[in-house]
Structure 1
Amino acid sequence: MKRINPGILCAFDAYDRASQKGANDAPSKILQTTYCVGLNSISASYVRMTGLPENCTELWFSFDMTQTDREDLGAEFTVKFSDNTLPYIHIDKSGSVKICSSDDQVLYNKTNVNPWFNTNKNLEIHIKTGENGRIDIWKDTKLNTSYRSPSAFNGTINMVEIRGGVSYQGAELCFAHFILQDTRRIGLEKFKKLTIDPDTEQNMPQGSTTTYKLSGLSDATEFSDITSVCAVLQATSRDANISTGTFSLEGADVGTIDVSDSSGKAYEIAHAETNSLTGKPWTRDDIEGKTLSFKVNGAS
């Protein structure tokens, strides 16, 4: 499932406090309802996105946001994924992130999502329910907040709702470029090229294995959420009996590739999104300083 850019919504407009148009006329009916209500200098609005797969248990949600406002009187908003059962996200006027469950605050991250005044920012949210339930939030592709709980994330994701308000007449808040999908990260992923030892060309006879020591993976926060491990090989086959090669990392399967090309110009890629030994996503400890093995087949 993937929904891309179903519409551009001006969520708040406190100048005239007029009802906003356009959501119901968007290319996809996934943008269902929008309200804008003015009361003195306070404006409130919400947009609800429906049409998700039945029994949805994992969702990646991305949107751009622009706020024109005074820094001391900003907008705040809430992002929900079900009517009642799942934790939701509230971002206050200071840009601090709160994750709440049944109106009880379970996490308060004061590392600001702001400043986003008079500029465009992207927020990406990952929610997963069940035993490995979690919420992750990225601001402009940098991980900002993560909350995990084996018990709080019960039920299914049946909608996405952004609801909020501004407390300064003349403020404006716009959401745009909505993307929803249930597969993997939407935002820009950072590829980290590791150092291998040895780093020279290797000659491999039939049925042999070559090992490489991996290093160079930083312990910085931006590398804490590893989506996959990849191995790239440019081989020149000089033996018709060698046709495939298999990568493994400390015994965990990374993938099997075709090494029969003799031109020396073909790049083959193996990748694994999870550690096959643990059944969980890769961690830095699975990779840094560990041994990558490459084994080729031979005559039977």
Structure 2
Amino acid sequence: MTSTRTRPSGRPDVPGRPSVGARLAFLRSPGWLGAIAGALAFAAVCFWVLAPWQFHRHVERDVRNSEIAVAARAEPVPLDQRLTSTDGIDPGESWQQVTATGQFLADRQVVVRLRQDENTGNPASEILAPLQLADGSILLVDRGYVPIDQLTGGVAAPAAPSGELTVTGRLQPFQPDPLKRAPVRVGERLEVYGIAADSIADLPGPVLGGFIQLVDGSPGVLTPIGVPQMDPGPYFSYAWQWLAFGTMSILAIGFFVFREFTDPRDPDPQDLDPQDPQARQPPRTAARAAAESVGVPVPEPGSESPPAPGRSKRTRPRRGFDRGSLYDPS
């Protein structure tokens, strides 16, 4: 009685079965090396670049929302407590409500082009007017939105109120035009593309390093510009998606390596050397080796009986890619 040796795993040790090293030889091929390197590189980018980037954006949005919420609830304070120089404002001071007292220079106000009314979503313009304070310095004041159809035909922008008055607005850093486009004269008004210290030329005093957006109820306000929406945004979920993509790439390449290791493809006859006697031998599969070990005769290639007349010979489809199906024009 013939007995088969059993490996610790419980599976029979089939004679002629390739060693583990031989079955892993495919990992040395350029195709597999490239696939593994690509999967690991993609996972590394997901884990250490893309996911941290989205987490950082989520934290930035969270801090910004907190600052806006605190500023919106705070009571207005005098301008000189938040802005006193031309150097600019601290980013943490944005959206703080301040009050300023002075006189509008009504003949020097300009129209800011290419804006959008956040309430309606329609194109709009903003009216920017200089306010001269008691010490002679200039504070730029954004009076709010004006619909595009109210500025057709080159009409002048809505006039600013005259006399000394106290306005209330939210403090903002300058919003300069990144393309540095020159102002455009349209009829009776001057139009600019950004809000900066040089948006209005030849002012009679130094321009403070920030501007204010008038709130509802303030003298001179048009359609007020509200605070932005304070939603957390999609950045947190995007970060987890990148982590999932990186994990999936590692699992996918691991699955393909496991399949190739446990179920290798038979060699393609077209890849074998016809002059090599070993190449003409049938592949020694595990099933063939097991059959030979228990004395079951295995027919040699070409020894099968020919098919009966009128019946086609049934062949077992070859596993893997069949190069014979490719079109050969020669």
Please say whether Structure 1 and Structure 2 have the same fold, judged by a TM-score greater than 0.5: no
Whichever of the two has the greater Rg, that structure is 2
Please indicate the TM-score interval, normalised by the length of the shorter structure: under 0.3
Relative to its length, the structure with more strand (as a share) is: 1
Instruction: Report the TM-score when normalising by structure 2.
Output: 0.20
Relative to its length, the structure with more helix (as a share) is: 2
Instruction: Report the TM-score when normalising by structure 1.
Output: 0.21
